[in-house]
């Protein structure tokens, strides 16, 4: 066999070396990509009025992050939550989501907590074309109609009336049936939406409105408002409020000794342990919405497992010790996103949104399926009544069901309403 020229041999070796180097670089890139975390960005209320609930949600999300990473992450990559405190301030939100997408280069986003905070993010999300699962916002997508939007809140397709539907259904069942209603709401997006829905329910049952006003969100003294309502002598009082307002309203009603036949409705905040501790027996008789309670109908094995983990860490994290209101939902809404990514093996927003639209998800808070405008296909909002709360009531009371009765819906009902309100005092 003729001997190869030395130059040709060297050229072959060089070519081989180049191919090996390229292969190694490609392999390194694949390995690096596999190890690069999938970043999920969001804002959350960690200070300000919504922070008692926002902190619950964040701990729920952290537990999901740790669990999913212990199982190998998503798509063979670890997951990393990238988040900022929106301070319960709507003006901070557009800048935060712009930074998350353009500077932090997150792969996916989820929404903040609360109607007033979610809505300002929508123009940024729509412009960037991101799939967007948000947490506890009321009718946020009614105007935008963004096809990649989804809401983790069990209102169902008829969103605005859902918060007070059970409240007015319960009132209408009483004998004799009450006839007059007072409506009061904060001049903010959630409260206005809930109040608009209350009008629908009032009309359905033929009640007469004798008071219908809003108050500035910065209001701190609610006594004049309660006295003005009392002067109209309504049978039923429906309040649509945010946390600090809800606390102020409950205190003012008790201080003045106002005793309508039924009171409550869409009061955000009364679900949180910090406010229950603050109000105690002042809550007796109030009827208010809920999204989850620790009843036998709602305690799934996966829910129990989550709550054990959450409650074991709550003290060190400085959050609500029970996590009933938003801890589980914080886990569940990011669980939906993770399950969708894992199912389609992709981070493409359009593909994720398409999968979410056509899938029923098995979450720790029960089955979730989305319908029109990204709202739940079937609603599951509850109305509960507080009763029998003694002075000094604490965690042992709030942990169970003895102090609250589920009035609606029928399939989750645990007892009858104490009516009129004065009997529950």
Q: Please give the angle made by the CA atoms of 205, 208 and 214, to the nearest 5 degrees.
A: 105
Each residue's pLDDT tens digit, 115-137? 999 999 999 999 999 999 999 99
**Based on the domain organization, do 237 and 108 belong to the same domain?**
no
CA distance 315 to 173: 42
Counts for the chain of helices (H) and strands (E), in that order: 15, 14
Each residue's pLDDT tens digit, 181-199? 999 999 999 999 999 999 9
In three-state secondary structure terms, 287 is: strand
Is 338 a member of any domain? yes
CA distance 366 to 376: 12
Is 32 a member of any domain? no
Is 25 a member of any domain? no
**Based on the domain organization, do 249 and 175 belong to the same domain?**
yes
pLDDT at 12 over 80: no
Which pair of structure tokens corresponds to residue 47?
């200070």
**pLDDT at res. 18:** 55
Instruction: Estimate the crossing angle of helix 327-344 against helix 301-317, to 10 degrees.
Output: 120
**What is the domain count for the chain?**
2
Is 16 a member of any domain? no
Each residue's pLDDT tens digit, 150-184? 999 999 999 999 999 999 999 999 999 999 999 99
343 pLDDT band, cuts 50/70/90, is: very high
**pLDDT at res. 31:** 43
Strands 382-386 and 404-408: antiparallel
pLDDT at 24 over 80: no
**Based on the domain organization, do 193 and 257 belong to the same domain?**
yes
Residue numbers of the domain that contains 188: 159-290+387-424
Omega before residue 43 within 30° of 0, cis: no
Long-range contact set of residues 224-227: C-beta below 8 Å, sequence gap at least 24: 225/184, 225/249, 225/252, 226/252, 226/253, 226/256, 226/258, 227/256
**Based on the domain organization, do 246 and 358 belong to the same domain?**
no
Q: What CA–CA distances, in Å, run from 310 to 46, 73, 276, 330?
A: 17, 20, 19, 11
**Based on the domain organization, do 170 and 286 belong to the same domain?**
yes
CA distance 132 to 336: 11
**pLDDT at res. 35:** 82
Is 19 a member of any domain? no
Tell me the residue ranges of DSSP E strands in 94-171: 108-109, 132-135, 149-152
Closest CA to 137 of 329, 382, 383: 329
- Looking at residue 204, which CATH number applies to its domain? 3.40.50.2300
Segment among 17-26, 81-90, 328-337 with least mean pLDDT: 17-26
Is 30 a member of any domain? no
**Based on the domain organization, do 211 and 183 belong to the same domain?**
yes
26 pLDDT band, cuts 50/70/90, is: very low
19 pLDDT band, cuts 50/70/90, is: low
pLDDT at 23 over 80: no
pLDDT at 342 over 60: yes
**pLDDT at res. 372:** 86
Please report the sign of the dihedral spanned by the C-alpha atoms of residue 277, residue 283, residue 284, residue 288.
negative
Each residue's pLDDT tens digit, 294-341? 999 999 999 999 999 999 999 999 999 999 999 999 999 999 999 999
**Based on the domain organization, do 86 and 183 belong to the same domain?**
no
**pLDDT at res. 5:** 52
List, in sequence order, the alpha helices (H) in 188-290.
189-205, 223-231, 243-256, 273-279
**Based on the domain organization, do 240 and 325 belong to the same domain?**
no
**Based on the domain organization, do 400 and 279 belong to the same domain?**
yes
Q: Any bridge partners for residue 384, and if so which? A: 288, 406
Each residue's pLDDT tens digit, 209-218? 999 999 999 9
Which pair of structure tokens corresponds to residue 296?
């036998």
Element (H, E) at 144: helix 141-144
CA distance 387 to 284: 4
Per-residue pLDDT, averaged over 13-39, amounts to: 55
pLDDT at 16 over 70: no
Per-residue pLDDT, averaged over 202-230, amounts to: 97
Each residue's pLDDT tens digit, 259-286? 999 999 999 999 999 999 999 999 999 9
**Based on the domain organization, do 246 and 281 belong to the same domain?**
yes
pLDDT at 11 over 70: no
**Based on the domain organization, do 199 and 273 belong to the same domain?**
yes
**pLDDT at res. 30:** 41
Is 419 a member of any domain? yes
pLDDT at 359 over 50: yes
**Based on the domain organization, do 188 and 279 belong to the same domain?**
yes
208 pLDDT band, cuts 50/70/90, is: very high
Is 15 a member of any domain? no
């Amino acid at each position: 066999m003729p001997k190869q020229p030395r130059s040709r041999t060297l050229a072959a070796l060089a070519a081989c070396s180049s191919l090996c180097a390229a292969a190694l670089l490609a392999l390194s890139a694949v390995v690096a990509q596999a190890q690069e975390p999938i970043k999920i960005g969001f804002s959350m209320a960690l200070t300000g009025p919504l922070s008692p609930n926002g902190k619950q949600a964040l701990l729920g999300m952290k537990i999901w992050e740790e669990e999913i990473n212990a199982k190998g992450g998503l798509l063979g990559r670890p997951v990393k939550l990238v988040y900022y405190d929106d301070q319960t301030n709507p003006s901070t939100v557009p800048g935060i989501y712009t930074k998350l997408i353009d500077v932090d280069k997150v792969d996916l986003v989820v929404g903040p907590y609360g109607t007033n905070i979610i809505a300002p993010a929508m123009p940024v999300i729509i412009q960037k074309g991101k799939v967007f699962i948000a947490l506890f916002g009321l009718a946020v997508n009614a105007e935008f109609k963004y096809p990649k939007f989804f809401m983790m809140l069990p209102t169902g397709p008829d969103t605005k009336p859902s918060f007070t539907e059970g409240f007015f259904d319960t009132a209408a069942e009483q004998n004799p049936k009450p006839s007059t209603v007072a409506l009061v709401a904060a001049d903010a997006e959630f409260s206005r939406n809930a109040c608009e829905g209350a009008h629908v329910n009032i009309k359905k049952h033929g009640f007469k409105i004798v008071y219908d006003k809003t108050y500035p969100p910065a209001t701190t003294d609610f006594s004049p408002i309660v006295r003005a309502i009392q002067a109209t002598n309504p049978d039923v009082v429906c309040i649509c409020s945010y946390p600090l307002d809800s606390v102020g309203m409950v205190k003012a009603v008790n201080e003045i000794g106002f005793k309508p036949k039924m009171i409550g409705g869409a009061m955000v905040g009364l679900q949180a342990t910090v406010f229950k501790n603050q109000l105690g027996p002042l809550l007796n008789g109030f009827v208010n919405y809920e999204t989850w309670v620790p009843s036998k109908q709602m305690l799934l094995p996966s829910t129990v497992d989550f709550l054990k983990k959450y409650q074991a860490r709550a003290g060190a994290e400085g959050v609500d010790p029970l996590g009933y209101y938003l801890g589980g939902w914080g886990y569940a809404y990011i669980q939906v996103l993770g399950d969708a990514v894992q199912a389609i093996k992709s981070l493409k927003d359009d593909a994720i949104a398409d999968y979410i639209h056509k899938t029923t998800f098995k979450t720790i808070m029960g089955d979730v399926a989305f319908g029109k405008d990204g709202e739940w296909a079937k609603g599951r909002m509850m109305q509960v009544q507080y009763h029998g709360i003694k002075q000094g009531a604490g965690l042992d009371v709030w942990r169970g069901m003895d102090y609250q009765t589920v009035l609606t819906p029928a399939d989750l009902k645990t007892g009858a309403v104490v009516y009129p309100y004065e009997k529950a005092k």
